[in-house]
Structure 1
């Protein structure tokens, strides 16, 4: 939909922006702007939802581009794990803290019946308080000199109107080298798939391994799609990978795995659709149930373990309350947050 870029605001303030492709009616860009404006009106502001600082239109050769300016945040959860945790998973206590913060952010959205539409670990980013007071010169040095590639036609002729003369590689902060702390809170980012209850899209483009079943079956959508995705994300926060396969996955294979993990039956209105997708998934499930699979992955003997089998029971129960086929039967973010486990 758009290109992400890091930029400098006035007085050297650091911001992150999104420039949408130029289209007469860019529904996704319009929905995102509506959602961000709605979130900006909520008081008090959530500490766990990304803020939009400004928006404007940019006129170009190809038309009008909607530009959104966001606060600058740090690395995503997967990037942090890659840089900081050799076992490719978070410590159990940190996973619990981040799970609570993600649920707090989601609760803020769902109290307004806003759907994020793309909840997964790459859309959780750490705040970086240490970046706020970084001088502009040091900030640019941290990002490195912009890499520019000039656009040339293979036949040597002049570029056609509307073709950019050069492209710039997106910059990224050197989070491996500057001060980082697990005490920094996280925020939900990237609202490109988000929607208000008055502008629900027909489908979503959530990554397939964490996509809610109602999206696969093209059922009516609302903010409950995020709760299924949250269940998948909590599973990944604790064990280091999603509950469903991410390699060579197809909707048919995914649905077969969903039936093994979901804690309720397939809704009657989906029966005809799922029975015609593939005869192999109409029979009894044969894979491990949710809790069994959670423990099997966590205690694989290949990565560090700081949780016991007793410790992992509660996350399994919570995930089970979210991985339910019937959207309205999934526990809300607030109901999950009210579980005494989060106060221990």
Structure 2
């Protein structure tokens, strides 16, 4: 009996709120972050503040935490006017803004203060901005146009000015998830464009390390010609709620007067779904500067992260195999509900293309001894067939297509990172160029 026969979309799973190492799950989209913490949790964190809106946790507005932002604020010598919130995560909040000098719309990502990881992110984004624009795949990577520091009541914050993008692929999947999945042609296009961006990154010696459908965002080609009121039609009017102290005393410095709920992009079907870009380089690294830890939610971790082994750019190839499955099937490859490291590795053992490397065997025996469970035998292709041809959703890909998809995933889903096919190699497959 397969342990995870029923799949659920990650953003709807409350248990993810309790992950010990939440990731900065920002994309320049309106998607509500997975690490959303409702007002009741503020009490668990002993915060004296309450606010009735689905937004970032108030206890993170402190020294070393978020910078308080309000609609209409002007940043960097009044250059960037804040219009709306796009998202938030453990390490940043992200805002739609108007560049008053260039008369363009941008996204401004404001990191928590005193965060070393923002320096690594700045180095990566600066490198991408300086790369040749005609380099193959570069058009599928989000770029930075400006960087500045903000000295606020909670410290000094790195701020990245990025292009304003539309809904994430995960948002579009959610919009189609009730009874449908993405059209096969669109799934193929997204996979190809993601691989092009990934190949470009890897050619520059950069690993993304946080590749999933929430970090793939669609472009909005017409956004720069919109008037502000037209932009609000796309984003929705900001929904706010005032922050209050439980004891009714005045707010302390560093606490925003109100919180803003992230934009909804409720009219997703009105967006042209033509081009995606890889976004959020907060976990990205070069081989000469690899982070000691990767703060990735467990169901999205590659095996070398689970086993705390050496990580390089090939971590993205495992992620790409998972993305291809999700694009085609409409739900994640690995369980997003009540997953533990042991359950995740057990699922990996079912679907990976090779055996668990010898260097991880002892760790696995200890994990299994601490949490024994039921073994099952299910091939990757069998699971893909079962999930795609479920008789419940539309099927516009043939069995031959699904065989080819399974073969592509198989080439990337290897425990041993050196055996995974590169993005450049996968891009040579004829299936990605059909249709």
Same structural fold, with TM-score higher than 0.5 when normalized by the shorter chain = yes
Q: Secondary structure at the match of 1:171?
A: coil
Q: Could you report, residue by residue, the CA deviation over 1:285-336 in whole angstroms, capped at 9, with x for unpaired residues?
A: 5231100100010011111111221221111011001000011111000010
Distance 1:228 1:53 in 2: 30
* Structure 1 counterpart of 2:418, from 328, 331, 334: 328
**The one of 116, 132, 135 aligned to 1:27:** 116
Give the corresponding residue for 1:150. 242
Q: Unpaired segments of 5 or more residues in structure 1?
A: none
- Aligned partner of residue 244 in structure 2, secondary structure: coil
Alignment partner, residue 129 of structure 2: 40
Matched, 1:115 2:204: no
Change (3 A) 1:96 1:295: same
Closer/same/farther in 2, CA of residues 162 and 94 from structure 1, 3 Å limit: closer
2:166 is aligned, of 74, 96, 105, to 74
1:274-285 matched pairs, under 5 angstroms? 274-279=364-369
Q: Aligned equivalents of 2:132 and 2:94: distance in 1? A: 27
Q: Which of 94, 97, 100 is 2:192 aligned to?
A: 100
Structure-2 change in CA distance of 1:175 and 1:52 (3 Å)? farther
Distance 1:342 1:145 in 2: 39
**CA RMSD in angstroms, aligned pairs only:** 2.1
1:52 and 1:322 map into 2 onto residues whose CA distance is: 30
- Contact kept, 8 Å, 2:173 with 2:330, in 1: the verdict is no
Residue 169 of structure 1 deviates from its aligned partner by 2.6
CA gap of 1:96–1:265, structure 2 versus 1, over 3 A, is same
Q: Deviations over 1:202-235 (max 9, x none)?
A: 2212232221000000001111111101100001
Aligned length: 340
For 1:1-344, what aligned pairs fall within 5 Å after superposition? 1-10=91-100, 12-23=103-114, 26-44=115-133, 46-83=138-175, 87-176=179-268, 179-182=270-273, 184-279=274-369, 286-344=376-434
**Counterpart contact for 2:169–2:217, Cα < 8 Å:** yes
CA contact (8 A) 1:256 1:281 kept: no
Alpha-carbon separation, structure 2, partners of 1:196 and 1:40: 16
SS of alignment partner, residue 399 of structure 2: coil
Comparing 306-315 with 253-262, which one deviates more in the overlay?
Answer: 306-315
Q: SS where residue 310 of structure 1 aligns? A: helix
Structure 1 residue runs of 4+, over 4 Å off? 280-285
In structure 2, list runs of 5 or more residues that go unmatched.
Answer: 1-90
Shift of 1:85: 6.6
